[in-house]
Amino acid sequence: MLRKLDDVHYGVTAKEAVYREDKVVLYHFKGDKAPTAKTPTLIVYALVNRPFMTDLQEDRSLVRNLLARGEDVYLIDWGYPDAADRYIGLDDYINGYIRRCVDVVAKRHGLKAINILGVCQGGAFSLCFAAIYPEKVKNLITMVTPVDFHTPDNMLSHWTQGMDVDLFVDTLGNVPGDLMNYCYLTLKPFRLNHQKYIGLVDILDDKAELENFLRMEKWIFDSPNQAGQAFREFIRDFYQANKLVEGGLKIGDKDVDLKRVTMPVLNIYAEQDHLVPPSASIPMKNVVGTKDYTVLAFKGGHIGIYVSGRAQREVAPTIHDWLSKRA
Protein backbone atom coordinates (compact mmCIF):
# COMPACT_ATOMS: atom_id res chain seq x y z
CA MET A 1 0.00 0.00 0.00
CA LEU A 2 2.82 2.39 0.84
CA ARG A 3 4.38 1.82 -2.56
CA LYS A 4 1.13 2.67 -4.25
CA LEU A 5 0.71 5.74 -2.13
CA ASP A 6 4.11 6.97 -3.08
CA ASP A 7 3.22 6.74 -6.73
CA VAL A 8 0.81 9.62 -7.11
CA HIS A 9 0.57 11.91 -10.12
CA TYR A 10 -1.32 14.96 -11.22
CA GLY A 11 -2.22 16.36 -14.59
CA VAL A 12 -4.58 13.56 -15.57
CA THR A 13 -6.43 14.79 -18.65
CA ALA A 14 -5.08 13.87 -22.07
CA LYS A 15 -3.38 16.77 -23.74
CA GLU A 16 -1.35 17.63 -26.80
CA ALA A 17 1.51 20.12 -27.00
CA VAL A 18 0.66 22.53 -29.82
CA TYR A 19 3.36 25.14 -29.36
CA ARG A 20 6.75 25.32 -27.66
CA GLU A 21 9.08 28.21 -27.06
CA ASP A 22 12.09 28.11 -24.75
CA LYS A 23 10.74 26.20 -21.72
CA VAL A 24 7.15 27.21 -22.33
CA VAL A 25 4.70 24.62 -23.67
CA LEU A 26 1.17 25.36 -24.81
CA TYR A 27 -1.13 22.39 -24.27
CA HIS A 28 -4.48 21.64 -25.81
CA PHE A 29 -6.63 19.36 -23.65
CA LYS A 30 -8.58 16.49 -25.14
CA GLY A 31 -11.99 15.79 -23.68
CA ASP A 32 -14.07 12.66 -24.02
CA LYS A 33 -16.23 14.46 -26.54
CA ALA A 34 -15.63 17.19 -29.08
CA PRO A 35 -15.95 20.71 -27.71
CA THR A 36 -19.10 22.60 -28.50
CA ALA A 37 -17.81 26.04 -27.54
CA LYS A 38 -16.85 28.14 -30.54
CA THR A 39 -14.30 30.16 -28.65
CA PRO A 40 -11.47 28.31 -26.89
CA THR A 41 -10.32 29.22 -23.39
CA LEU A 42 -6.66 29.60 -22.52
CA ILE A 43 -5.62 29.06 -18.90
CA VAL A 44 -2.78 31.34 -17.81
CA TYR A 45 -1.42 30.01 -14.54
CA ALA A 46 0.92 31.66 -12.05
CA LEU A 47 4.67 31.27 -12.33
CA VAL A 48 4.78 29.78 -8.83
CA ASN A 49 3.91 26.10 -8.49
CA ARG A 50 2.83 23.97 -11.40
CA PRO A 51 -0.31 24.69 -13.44
CA PHE A 52 -1.70 21.20 -12.98
CA MET A 53 -3.56 22.22 -9.84
CA THR A 54 -6.28 22.91 -12.42
CA ASP A 55 -6.14 19.24 -13.41
CA LEU A 56 -5.07 17.53 -10.21
CA GLN A 57 -6.97 14.25 -10.48
CA GLU A 58 -9.94 12.83 -12.33
CA ASP A 59 -12.57 13.82 -9.81
CA ARG A 60 -10.91 17.12 -8.93
CA SER A 61 -10.18 18.89 -12.15
CA LEU A 62 -11.33 22.27 -13.35
CA VAL A 63 -10.06 21.39 -16.81
CA ARG A 64 -11.98 18.14 -16.94
CA ASN A 65 -15.16 19.80 -15.74
CA LEU A 66 -14.88 22.51 -18.36
CA LEU A 67 -14.25 19.95 -21.10
CA ALA A 68 -17.25 17.92 -19.96
CA ARG A 69 -19.40 20.98 -20.48
CA GLY A 70 -18.13 21.47 -24.01
CA GLU A 71 -15.42 24.08 -23.46
CA ASP A 72 -12.25 23.89 -25.52
CA VAL A 73 -9.36 24.32 -23.10
CA TYR A 74 -5.70 25.27 -23.58
CA LEU A 75 -3.08 25.82 -20.88
CA ILE A 76 0.34 27.43 -20.73
CA ASP A 77 2.96 25.41 -18.85
CA TRP A 78 5.80 27.76 -17.93
CA GLY A 79 8.26 24.96 -17.22
CA TYR A 80 11.13 25.16 -14.76
CA PRO A 81 13.31 28.25 -15.29
CA ASP A 82 17.02 27.77 -14.70
CA ALA A 83 19.97 30.13 -14.48
CA ALA A 84 19.86 30.80 -18.21
CA ASP A 85 16.36 32.24 -17.72
CA ARG A 86 17.13 34.72 -14.99
CA TYR A 87 16.72 37.71 -17.31
CA ILE A 88 13.24 36.75 -18.46
CA GLY A 89 11.04 39.63 -17.41
CA LEU A 90 7.36 40.43 -17.43
CA ASP A 91 7.73 41.85 -20.93
CA ASP A 92 8.88 38.42 -22.10
CA TYR A 93 6.08 36.66 -20.24
CA ILE A 94 3.19 38.95 -21.16
CA ASN A 95 4.12 40.60 -24.46
CA GLY A 96 6.10 37.57 -25.52
CA TYR A 97 4.99 34.13 -24.41
CA ILE A 98 1.36 34.88 -23.56
CA ARG A 99 0.80 36.95 -26.69
CA ARG A 100 2.29 34.31 -28.93
CA CYS A 101 0.33 31.53 -27.22
CA VAL A 102 -2.87 33.54 -27.64
CA ASP A 103 -2.03 34.09 -31.30
CA VAL A 104 -1.38 30.38 -31.81
CA VAL A 105 -4.71 29.43 -30.26
CA ALA A 106 -6.58 32.14 -32.16
CA LYS A 107 -5.00 31.07 -35.43
CA ARG A 108 -5.85 27.42 -34.86
CA HIS A 109 -9.48 28.40 -34.53
CA GLY A 110 -9.52 31.14 -37.15
CA LEU A 111 -10.44 33.74 -34.55
CA LYS A 112 -9.23 37.19 -33.66
CA ALA A 113 -10.00 36.88 -29.96
CA ILE A 114 -10.19 34.03 -27.46
CA ASN A 115 -11.25 33.57 -23.83
CA ILE A 116 -8.55 33.84 -21.18
CA LEU A 117 -8.73 32.32 -17.70
CA GLY A 118 -6.01 33.73 -15.48
CA VAL A 119 -5.12 32.17 -12.15
CA CYS A 120 -3.56 34.07 -9.22
CA GLN A 121 -0.41 35.76 -10.54
CA GLY A 122 -1.48 34.48 -13.95
CA GLY A 123 -4.69 36.42 -13.42
CA ALA A 124 -2.69 39.60 -12.87
CA PHE A 125 -0.76 38.82 -16.06
CA SER A 126 -4.05 38.21 -17.89
CA LEU A 127 -5.39 41.56 -16.74
CA CYS A 128 -2.28 43.26 -18.07
CA PHE A 129 -2.54 41.34 -21.33
CA ALA A 130 -6.21 42.21 -21.73
CA ALA A 131 -5.42 45.87 -21.12
CA ILE A 132 -2.61 45.90 -23.68
CA TYR A 133 -4.32 43.72 -26.29
CA PRO A 134 -8.08 44.06 -25.71
CA GLU A 135 -8.74 43.04 -29.30
CA LYS A 136 -7.33 39.57 -28.60
CA VAL A 137 -9.48 38.78 -25.55
CA LYS A 138 -13.15 37.95 -26.03
CA ASN A 139 -13.93 37.16 -22.38
CA LEU A 140 -11.68 37.39 -19.34
CA ILE A 141 -12.00 35.14 -16.30
CA THR A 142 -9.78 35.74 -13.29
CA MET A 143 -9.47 33.36 -10.36
CA VAL A 144 -7.96 34.28 -6.97
CA THR A 145 -6.35 37.25 -8.68
CA PRO A 146 -4.87 40.12 -6.69
CA VAL A 147 -5.39 43.65 -7.95
CA ASP A 148 -4.96 45.80 -4.87
CA PHE A 149 -1.73 44.65 -3.21
CA HIS A 150 -1.88 47.13 -0.36
CA THR A 151 -4.80 45.94 1.71
CA PRO A 152 -4.05 45.60 5.45
CA ASP A 153 -4.60 41.84 5.64
CA ASN A 154 -2.21 40.94 2.83
CA MET A 155 0.64 39.40 4.82
CA LEU A 156 2.79 38.46 1.83
CA SER A 157 2.64 41.98 0.50
CA HIS A 158 3.37 43.37 3.95
CA TRP A 159 6.58 41.36 4.14
CA THR A 160 7.84 42.53 0.76
CA GLN A 161 7.54 46.25 1.51
CA GLY A 162 10.85 46.51 3.35
CA MET A 163 12.77 44.27 0.97
CA ASP A 164 15.41 45.66 -1.34
CA VAL A 165 14.27 43.56 -4.27
CA ASP A 166 17.14 44.67 -6.49
CA LEU A 167 19.68 43.50 -3.93
CA PHE A 168 17.65 40.33 -3.47
CA VAL A 169 17.55 39.37 -7.15
CA ASP A 170 21.04 40.59 -7.93
CA THR A 171 22.28 38.31 -5.17
CA LEU A 172 20.16 35.21 -5.72
CA GLY A 173 19.70 35.34 -9.50
CA ASN A 174 16.61 33.22 -9.80
CA VAL A 175 14.53 32.98 -6.65
CA PRO A 176 14.52 29.37 -5.41
CA GLY A 177 11.15 27.65 -5.45
CA ASP A 178 12.01 26.17 -2.05
CA LEU A 179 12.31 29.66 -0.61
CA MET A 180 8.97 30.66 -2.12
CA ASN A 181 7.40 27.59 -0.53
CA TYR A 182 8.94 28.38 2.80
CA CYS A 183 7.51 31.90 2.70
CA TYR A 184 4.03 30.59 1.91
CA LEU A 185 4.21 28.09 4.76
CA THR A 186 5.36 30.76 7.19
CA LEU A 187 2.11 32.63 6.60
CA LYS A 188 0.52 30.08 8.94
CA PRO A 189 3.39 28.10 10.46
CA PHE A 190 1.41 26.04 12.95
CA ARG A 191 -1.54 25.25 10.76
CA LEU A 192 0.39 24.44 7.60
CA ASN A 193 3.30 22.70 9.18
CA HIS A 194 1.87 20.81 12.16
CA GLN A 195 -1.89 20.79 12.41
CA LYS A 196 -2.30 19.59 8.85
CA TYR A 197 -0.18 16.52 9.50
CA ILE A 198 -1.80 15.80 12.84
CA GLY A 199 -5.09 15.76 10.94
CA LEU A 200 -3.72 13.03 8.74
CA VAL A 201 -4.51 10.52 11.47
CA ASP A 202 -8.19 10.92 10.61
CA ILE A 203 -7.72 9.52 7.12
CA LEU A 204 -5.05 6.92 7.68
CA ASP A 205 -7.34 4.03 6.89
CA ASP A 206 -8.80 5.68 3.79
CA LYS A 207 -6.59 4.87 0.82
CA ALA A 208 -8.27 7.30 -1.56
CA GLU A 209 -8.07 10.16 0.90
CA LEU A 210 -4.44 9.37 1.66
CA GLU A 211 -3.64 9.44 -2.04
CA ASN A 212 -5.40 12.76 -2.34
CA PHE A 213 -3.33 14.07 0.54
CA LEU A 214 -0.08 12.85 -0.92
CA ARG A 215 -0.95 14.18 -4.36
CA MET A 216 -1.54 17.58 -2.87
CA GLU A 217 1.71 17.39 -0.93
CA LYS A 218 3.55 16.55 -4.10
CA TRP A 219 2.02 19.49 -5.90
CA ILE A 220 2.73 21.92 -3.07
CA PHE A 221 6.41 21.07 -2.98
CA ASP A 222 6.82 21.02 -6.75
CA SER A 223 7.83 24.64 -7.04
CA PRO A 224 9.79 25.96 -10.00
CA ASN A 225 12.39 28.63 -9.38
CA GLN A 226 11.28 32.12 -10.30
CA ALA A 227 13.06 33.91 -13.11
CA GLY A 228 14.89 36.69 -11.29
CA GLN A 229 13.96 39.60 -13.52
CA ALA A 230 10.26 38.74 -13.57
CA PHE A 231 10.29 38.35 -9.79
CA ARG A 232 12.01 41.73 -9.41
CA GLU A 233 9.45 43.47 -11.60
CA PHE A 234 6.47 41.74 -10.03
CA ILE A 235 7.54 42.61 -6.47
CA ARG A 236 8.53 46.16 -7.38
CA ASP A 237 5.58 47.15 -9.57
CA PHE A 238 2.76 45.02 -8.18
CA TYR A 239 3.53 44.36 -4.52
CA GLN A 240 5.51 47.43 -3.58
CA ALA A 241 4.18 50.16 -5.90
CA ASN A 242 0.68 48.67 -6.32
CA LYS A 243 0.60 49.96 -9.89
CA LEU A 244 -2.43 47.95 -10.98
CA VAL A 245 -4.46 50.23 -8.75
CA GLU A 246 -2.27 53.30 -8.57
CA GLY A 247 -1.54 53.36 -12.30
CA GLY A 248 1.70 53.93 -14.16
CA LEU A 249 2.35 50.27 -14.89
CA LYS A 250 4.36 49.50 -18.00
CA ILE A 251 5.10 46.03 -19.32
CA GLY A 252 8.05 46.43 -21.65
CA ASP A 253 7.16 49.49 -23.71
CA LYS A 254 3.40 48.99 -23.31
CA ASP A 255 1.28 51.00 -20.91
CA VAL A 256 -1.16 49.01 -18.82
CA ASP A 257 -4.41 50.89 -18.40
CA LEU A 258 -7.03 48.63 -16.87
CA LYS A 259 -9.76 50.91 -18.22
CA ARG A 260 -8.99 49.26 -21.55
CA VAL A 261 -10.24 45.96 -20.12
CA THR A 262 -13.63 46.43 -21.74
CA MET A 263 -14.45 42.83 -22.57
CA PRO A 264 -16.75 40.89 -20.17
CA VAL A 265 -14.96 39.96 -16.93
CA LEU A 266 -15.77 37.18 -14.47
CA ASN A 267 -13.79 37.50 -11.25
CA ILE A 268 -13.78 34.53 -8.86
CA TYR A 269 -12.17 34.93 -5.47
CA ALA A 270 -11.97 32.64 -2.43
CA GLU A 271 -13.40 33.87 0.84
CA GLN A 272 -10.81 32.04 2.98
CA ASP A 273 -7.82 32.79 0.80
CA HIS A 274 -4.72 33.49 2.92
CA LEU A 275 -2.46 34.11 -0.07
CA VAL A 276 -4.69 36.46 -2.05
CA PRO A 277 -7.14 37.87 0.47
CA PRO A 278 -10.59 38.75 -0.90
CA SER A 279 -9.82 42.38 -0.16
CA ALA A 280 -7.04 42.22 -2.77
CA SER A 281 -9.31 40.86 -5.48
CA ILE A 282 -12.65 42.56 -4.91
CA PRO A 283 -11.44 46.04 -6.00
CA MET A 284 -11.02 44.74 -9.55
CA LYS A 285 -14.52 45.95 -10.28
CA ASN A 286 -13.47 49.54 -9.72
CA VAL A 287 -10.37 49.51 -11.89
CA VAL A 288 -11.40 47.66 -15.05
CA GLY A 289 -13.23 49.44 -17.83
CA THR A 290 -15.82 46.79 -18.61
CA LYS A 291 -19.53 47.32 -18.12
CA ASP A 292 -20.08 43.56 -18.02
CA TYR A 293 -18.49 42.56 -14.70
CA THR A 294 -19.50 39.48 -12.72
CA VAL A 295 -18.10 38.35 -9.41
CA LEU A 296 -18.27 34.98 -7.66
CA ALA A 297 -17.30 34.65 -4.00
CA PHE A 298 -16.29 31.05 -3.47
CA LYS A 299 -16.58 29.57 0.01
CA GLY A 300 -13.12 28.07 0.32
CA GLY A 301 -9.42 28.77 0.19
CA HIS A 302 -6.76 29.47 -2.42
CA ILE A 303 -6.37 25.80 -3.28
CA GLY A 304 -9.83 24.59 -2.38
CA ILE A 305 -11.20 26.67 -5.21
CA TYR A 306 -9.80 24.01 -7.57
CA VAL A 307 -9.87 20.80 -5.64
CA SER A 308 -12.68 20.84 -3.10
CA GLY A 309 -15.95 19.05 -3.70
CA ARG A 310 -17.73 22.38 -3.66
CA ALA A 311 -15.40 23.68 -6.35
CA GLN A 312 -16.35 20.79 -8.65
CA ARG A 313 -20.00 21.68 -8.22
CA GLU A 314 -19.70 25.45 -8.45
CA VAL A 315 -16.68 26.80 -10.27
CA ALA A 316 -16.66 25.08 -13.66
CA PRO A 317 -20.47 25.30 -14.08
CA THR A 318 -20.34 29.01 -13.27
CA ILE A 319 -17.58 29.61 -15.78
CA HIS A 320 -19.32 27.58 -18.46
CA ASP A 321 -22.69 29.26 -17.96
CA TRP A 322 -21.11 32.68 -17.93
CA LEU A 323 -19.17 31.98 -21.13
CA SER A 324 -22.21 30.48 -22.84
CA LYS A 325 -24.11 33.70 -22.40
CA ARG A 326 -21.23 35.58 -24.00
CA ALA A 327 -20.36 33.17 -26.79
Question: How many residues bind another protein, per CB under 8 A?
Answer: 61
Span of 109-117, 136-144, 190-198, 256-264 interacting with another protein by CB under 8 A: 190-198
Q: How far is CA 123 from the centre of its chain?
A: 6
Q: Which amino acid is at 104?
A: V
Could you say whether residue 7 binds another protein (CB under 8 A)?
no
Report, in Å, the least distance between residue 304 CB and another protein: 18
Could you say whether residue 191 binds another protein (CB under 8 A)?
yes
Query: Looking at 36, 161, 286, 324, which residue binds another protein (CB under 8 A)?
Result: 161
Report, in Å, the least distance between residue 104 CB and another protein: 11
Query: Looking at 59, 135, 153, 271, which residue binds another protein (CB under 8 A)?
Result: 153
Site for another protein in 222-261 (CB under 8 A): 222-223
Report, in Å, the least distance between residue 161 CB and another protein: 5
Could you say whether residue 110 binds another protein (CB under 8 A)?
no
- In terms of Cα–Cα distance, which of 43, 16, 40, 10 is closest to 29? 16
Find out whether 43 and 119 touch, Cβ atoms under 8 Å: yes
Site for another protein in 162-181 (CB under 8 A): 162-164, 167-168, 170-173, 176-179, 181
Site for another protein in 284-313 (CB under 8 A): none
Report, in Å, the least distance between residue 251 CB and another protein: 14
Find out whether 229 and 93 touch, Cβ atoms under 8 Å: no
Span of 1-9, 36-44, 113-121, 275-283 interacting with another protein by CB under 8 A: 1-9
Query: How many Å apart are CA 259 and CA 272, to the nearest integer?
Result: 28
**Long-range contacts of 242-246, Cβ-Cβ distance < 8 Å, separation of 24 or more:** 242/148, 242/149, 242/150, 244/124, 244/127, 244/128, 244/147, 244/148, 244/149, 244/287, 245/147, 245/148, 245/149, 245/150, 245/283, 245/287
Query: Looking at 70, 96, 247, 304, which residue binds another protein (CB under 8 A)?
Result: 96
Query: Counting Cβ atoms within 10 Å, is residue 88 exposed (0-12), middle (13-18) or buried (19+)?
Result: buried
Query: Looking at 88, 102, 128, 280, which residue binds another protein (CB under 8 A)?
Result: 88
| Per-residue mark of binding to another protein, 123-142 (x: CB under 8 A) | --------------------
Could you say whether residue 17 binds another protein (CB under 8 A)?
no
Span of 10-18, 36-44, 80-88, 287-295 interacting with another protein by CB under 8 A: 80-88
Q: Does the annotation count 101 as an active-site position? A: no
* 254 CB neighbour count, 10 Å cutoff: 16
Query: How many Å apart are CA 29 and CA 63, to the nearest integer?
Result: 8
Query: How many Å apart are CA 324 and CA 141, to the nearest integer?
Result: 13
Query: Looking at 34, 201, 253, 291, which residue binds another protein (CB under 8 A)?
Result: 201
Planar angle of CA 66, 77, 165, nearest 5 degrees: 120
Report, in Å, the least distance between residue 118 CB and another protein: 22
Query: Looking at 83, 208, 297, 327, which residue binds another protein (CB under 8 A)?
Result: 83
Q: How far is CA 87 from the centre of its chain?
A: 22
First to last CA, the chain: 47
**Bridge partners, 254 (sequence order):** 251
Hey, is 77 helix, strand or coil? strand
Report, in Å, the least distance between residue 217 CB and another protein: 5
Could you say whether residue 152 binds another protein (CB under 8 A)?
yes
Which residues are the active-site residues? 120
